[in-house]
């Protein structure tokens, strides 16, 4: 049976003074995660906020252990890129 894992990343973009600046940061992160880990990535909340964002990275797999490893790697990579701007994470399984 396939599993679906959803990792949400809460981000605070302190230096952003416009939606355009925030979207540049968010787009860069989304592109890097997609390319490196082959996960689906979307901004899912705070779309109109200049300094906050919630990004979801999703994986579908027939092996939960593999999916957990990928999402852990995504979280670690995002933390290394964002530093203190990553304010929270959560993983859900469907």
Domain count of the fold of the chain: 1
Cα angle, residue 9 at apex, residues 23 and 81 outer, rounded to 5°:
70
Both tokens of 36, joined, read 């490196």
Domain range for 23 is 3-93
Both tokens of 51, joined, read 């300094």
pLDDT tens-digit map of 35-65: 999 999 999 999 999 999 999 999 999 999 9
Q: Is 87 helix (H, G, I), strand (E, B) or coil?
A: strand
pLDDT tens-digit map of 61-92: 999 999 999 999 999 999 999 998 999 999 99
- How sure is the predictor about 31, in pLDDT bands with cuts at 50, 70 and 90? very high
Rounded Cα distance between 60 and 90, Å, is 17
CATH code, domain with 72: 3.30.70.1120
Please tell me the pTM assigned to this model. 0.93
Among 21, 25, 18, which Cα is nearest to 55's?
25
Q: State residue 15's pLDDT score.
A: 87
- How sure is the predictor about 16, in pLDDT bands with cuts at 50, 70 and 90? confident
Q: Is 18 helix (H, G, I), strand (E, B) or coil?
A: coil
Helical (H) or strand (E) element with 39: none
């Amino acid at each position: 049976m396939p599993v679906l894992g959803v990792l949400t990343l809460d981000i605070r973009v302190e230096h952003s003074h416009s939606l355009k600046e925030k979207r540049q940061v968010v787009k860069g992160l989304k592109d890097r995660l997609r390319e490196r880990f082959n996960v689906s990535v979307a901004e899912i909340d705070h779309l109109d906020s200049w300094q906050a964002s919630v990004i979801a990275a999703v994986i579908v797999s027939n092996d939960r252990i593999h999916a957990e490893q990928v999402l852990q790697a995504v979280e670690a990579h995002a933390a290394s890129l964002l530093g203190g701007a990553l304010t929270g994470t959560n993983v859900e399984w469907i």
